[in-house]
Amino acid sequence: MTVRQIRVFGDPVLRSVAEPVKEFDRELRGLVKSLTATIRAGGGRAGLAAPQLGEPVRVVVYSCDGKSGHLVNPRLELSERRIIADEACLSAPGVWWPLERSFMVMARGWDMFGKPVKVRALGVLARVLQHEVDHLDGVLFSDHLDAAERERFLAAALPAG
């Protein structure tokens, strides 16, 4: 398992829409293992999407609220109940920002072997899954902010220069 460098805001790979996984092979299992090793390499890491490692495929890993795992080609069903809470991104280290998200999600996808997976998530884990699936669609969590808030967030998140 290889710990890999996480891409940061400004990297164009974070804006690309990830391709669905079609082959459940050794390469996919290696990617899941690298994502897992990378998320475990730092404290407070709750989720990571393949594009954050420069891999434009639909794979996420999570480790939060006592649950950990991965989803390949995830789809989310969102609850109508929404809450506002601080959110952060490993691609914008050290910056937290309040954001409204659904309180509960039902995530469906596959594991690295092609077996169906279903995850019911509440609270923080629901937020993590929504955040990571956004990455698969080239959406950064700052995109959910209004223009003024986004400008303040990007000023704090992007390196000067």
Residues that are catalytic: 132
What is the three-state SS of the chain? CCCCCCCCCCCHHHHCCCECCCCCCHHHHHHHHHHHHHHHCCCCCCEEEHHHHCCCECEEEEEECCEEEEEEEEEEEECCCEEEEEEEECCEEEEEEEEEEECEEEEEEECCCCCEEEEEEEHHHHHHHHHHHHHHCCCCHHHHCCHHHHHHHHHHHCCCC
